[in-house]
Every structure is written in C-alpha cells, then in structure tokens.
Amino acid sequence: MEIDPLPNGSGSAGTTNPEAAATTTVAAAALKTTPSSKLSQLTESLKLEHQLLRVPFEHYKKTIRANHRTVEKEVSAVISSVAEVADCNEPSKEDTVLNLTSLVSRLQGLKRKLEEGSRTENLQAQRCRARLDHLESVDAENLSEWNNVRLKRILVDYMLRMSYYDTAMKLAENSNIQDLVDIDVFQEAKKVIDALRNQEVGPALAWCVDNKSRLKKSKSKFEFQLRLQEFIELVRAENHMRAILYARRYLAPWGATHLKELQRVMATLAFRSNTECAKYKVLFEPKQWDFLVDQFKQEFCRLYGMTLEPLLNIYLQAGLSALKTPYCYEDDCTKEDPLSQDSFRKLALPLPYSKQHHSKLVCYITKELMDTENPPQVLPNGYVYSTRALKEMAEKNNGNITCPRTGLVCNYSELVKAYIS
C-alpha cells in the first residue's frame, strides 16, 4: 500500500528543500530489492573502487617516466661526449677509438637496461589489466566470494597503512590476491618511514627528488619540513656553524614562501635543545619525527590517488552508521547485529543514527520481516508478532498464543491485523 500526498493535516509530507529532494530520489533508487536494483547496487559499489585502479596506474606511469628520463640522460650524454671528442684536438687515434668503443658499450648497456625496464613496465601494465578484469568479473553467482575478496583487500590496505607488513603479505598470499593489493608500492614507503623512525631523512629526501614535479604541482612543503628537521638536529648537536651553512644552502630557497616558519626554526639557534621555553621546546621533541612520518604518509597517499584514511575506516563508519539504531544498545539486542558487541558499540558511539524512509518490521520471534506476505498481528496488550510465528504457536497450543515478552495468554481469534506499508 503506497501512500499518496494527503489531503488533510499532512504538513511535512511534501518537502521542498533541495537536500531532501536529492535524498528522496536516492531513496527511491535504493527502494526495492528486485534483481535490476541489485545490479544497480552492484554498479554503485564498483564505483567505490577508484583506488584499486588508480594506484597501479600511477606506479606504471612513474616507471615509464623514470625509464624515459634515464634514456634521455644517457643519450644526450653520449652525443655530447662525441661532440667533446670531436672538438678536442688532444687525443690520438687510438684514444679516440677507445673512447668511441666505450660509448658503444655504454649504449649497449642502456639497451639492456631499457629492455629490463620494459619488462617491469609490462608487468605493471598486466597488474592494471588484472584489476580491470577483477572488477568486470563480478556477477550474481560469485557475488559472495567477490565480497569476501573485497573485505580481504580492505584489510590488506589497512595493514599496509598501519605498517603491519608481515600480516599484509600473509593475508595476500593466503587468499591469492597479490595482484589486487599494493604491497610493492607500500614497500617503497616502508623504506622512507623506517628511516624517518630512525631519525634519518636520507630516503625521504631521495623520495622527494624522485617525485619532484608532482610535489611541486601540489605545492607540497614536505621537503622543506625535512630540511627544517635536519637543521634542528644540527642545532641539537650544537653544530651551529654547520647549521647556519645548511640553512643558507637548503632552507633559504624556501624563505620566499614559508618565511614565518623558517624564522621560527632559525630562532632555535639561540636556544639549547633542553630549553624549557615551550614554543621552542616543542621543536626539539622526538614527536616531530612522528609528525614527519604522518606528513609523508599523507603526501604518499595523495600522490598515488589513495584516500588519506584507510579504506577500512571509511567502510566501517558508513556501515556502523547505516546499522545504528537506538535499539542496538539495549540488552536484548540480537547477537546477529554487530552492534550487540562492545567493540562495535564503542566505535559507533560518536556516529549518527541511521535514517529510513520506510518502515521495516522484524518479528521478535522468527526474526523475519513482517510484510504483506507475513503481516504483523497485534495482541490485546499491544505487542506485535508475525502471522507465521503466531499461527505456528497457535497450531501447537490449541489455538492459544502466549506473548513471549509479557506472558499474556490469548486466543488466535483475538488478534488484530495491522496494515503497515
């Protein structure tokens, strides 16, 4: 039974604000669970997989560009060598021949490197294709298996972001999903993170150089922050002269855009590392290194087109919010509801309750949906159960019903059907 706009006392039935309009169309789309809408639900869930396709592609692109740079560099070096030798009058014939021969072997070496590079590129291209195929492969039959794999992918992503590399690898091997997860991409990050945790900026700086153009495009100041930290370490070691030279060379270029921050850090020269002055004490804390690790993780994820938060958190939040009702926190909440568990309840506390536009009634006895095929019946005390459950009870008990929650006994004939759309 669908309800039409009402002639009397309806007030809020006809909404006019744009958000509600958008949400009602969304609600209409997600309404029935007919097969065609199951398909559209599937399509919607596939649209969430941007990260799956983007990351291996970025990796592939990076490899292609790096290989090309190498080729360009070597070729121009060889050509200018030839020009140099031609213009220079010194060397004898033998020396010239030797020179040219060495250039030839240099080029042969480059060819080999190029081939190897191409092999790597092909592997990465294969991975991109494998993921496209994986997205295409889902259909009604293998849906539950595909969903299982999705959960595993999400867990591997979480492990990698939290640096639990062993577990990530084990899980990926165990379920044979190595092609669908980005362990190798994160290995790259691991080097930088481990070094930063060891208070070394070397690998991080090398990473910045590798990705110079992209970082510049996104106006990243990560390199600047690394340099600042190195400066502070020099100050901490009371190597003031070196610190100043370092600042002149590496920090000054950033002065134009980040002057205030630069000034603040430069001021540490005037203090000792065990200073009690709060403003400068914080700069000497080891926590600054943790901050750098976080910064790196953010830059890294941004570069590869990954979300900043782990996928697990995003899906968990959405799921908990969609499941959360005030009834979940009651003692008699069914065990099948994840929110009957303490750990889930704790996570869901700050999240909003779910919103529904249509009644969904669940029989207390059978846990089945009470709809037009199995309508709800009302006992004389106002408690409601499904027709199926009550019929079964009546059949086994001479037409009598006992309310499981209040103990009230009545006859099946005393029940009243309720009509709820």
> Contacts with another protein in 111-130 (CB under 8 A)?
111, 114, 118, 121, 125, 128-129
Exposed / middle / buried, residue 299 (Cβ in 10 Å: 0-12, 13-18, 19+): buried
Q: Evaluate whether 201 touches 230 at the Cβ level (below 8 Å).
A: yes
Residues 6+ apart with CB under 8 A from 416: 377, 378
Q: Evaluate whether 399 touches 392 at the Cβ level (below 8 Å).
A: no
Of 291, 88, 292, 135, the closest CA to residue 202 belongs to: 292
Site for another protein in 335-364 (CB under 8 A): 335-338, 340-341, 343-344, 346-347, 350-362, 364
Tokens of 181: 């997860």
User: Which 8-state DSSP code applies to residue 88?
Assistant: -
CA 55 to the chain's CA centroid: 11
171 is a site residue for another protein (CB under 8 A)? yes
The residue from 289, 315, 387, 410 that contacts another protein (CB under 8 A) is: 315
Site for another protein in 267-306 (CB under 8 A): 305
Minimum Å gap between C-beta 93 and another protein is 5
Of 171, 214, 170, 207, the closest CA to residue 189 belongs to: 207
The residue from 16, 36, 174, 274 that contacts another protein (CB under 8 A) is: 174
The residue from 35, 86, 90, 413 that contacts another protein (CB under 8 A) is: 86
Site for another protein in 1-30 (CB under 8 A): 1, 3, 6, 8-13, 18-19, 22-23, 26-27, 30
Minimum Å gap between C-beta 222 and another protein is 20
Nearest-5° angle of CA 92, CA 97, CA 98? 100
Minimum Å gap between C-beta 413 and another protein is 16
405 is a site residue for another protein (CB under 8 A)? yes
Instruction: Give the C-alpha distances (Å, rounded to integers) separating 184 from 56, 178, 215.
Output: 10, 10, 21
The residue range among 95-103, 181-189, 260-268, 279-287 that interacts with another protein, by the rule CB under 8 A, is 95-103
> Closer CB to another protein, residue 256 or residue 382?
382
Site for another protein in 246-265 (CB under 8 A): none
Tokens of 40: 């559209």
The residue from 273, 275, 313, 374 that contacts another protein (CB under 8 A) is: 313
Tokens of 214: 């992209």
Which x/- pattern over 198-237 shows residues binding another protein (rule: CB under 8 A)? ----------------------------------------
SS3 210: helix
Tokens of 183: 């362990």
Minimum Å gap between C-beta 200 and another protein is 23
The residue from 157, 159, 193, 203 that contacts another protein (CB under 8 A) is: 159
Site for another protein in 316-335 (CB under 8 A): 316-323, 325-328, 333-335
Minimum Å gap between C-beta 231 and another protein is 31
Site for another protein in 367-386 (CB under 8 A): 367, 369-370, 376, 378, 381-384
Of 354, 355, 358, the closest CA to residue 3 belongs to: 358
Rounded to whole angstroms, the Cα distance separating 366 from 392 reads 11
> Closer CB to another protein, residue 164 or residue 254?
164
> Closer CB to another protein, residue 78 or residue 410?
78
> Closer CB to another protein, residue 39 or residue 237?
39
> Closer CB to another protein, residue 263 or residue 397?
397
The identity of residue 211, as a single letter, is N
Rounded to whole angstroms, the Cα distance separating 120 from 125 reads 9
Minimum Å gap between C-beta 319 and another protein is 3
By CB under 8 A, how many residues form the interface with another protein? 142
Minimum Å gap between C-beta 105 and another protein is 10
Rounded to whole angstroms, the Cα distance separating 239 from 337 reads 61
* Terminal-residue alpha carbon distance, the chain: 5
Q: Evaluate whether 190 touches 287 at the Cβ level (below 8 Å).
A: no
Of 277, 258, 334, the closest CA to residue 325 belongs to: 334
Tokens of 38: 């199951």
The residue from 183, 314, 365, 408 that contacts another protein (CB under 8 A) is: 314
Site for another protein in 27-66 (CB under 8 A): 27, 30-31, 33, 41-51, 53-54, 57, 61, 64
Rounded to whole angstroms, the Cα distance separating 45 from 158 reads 19
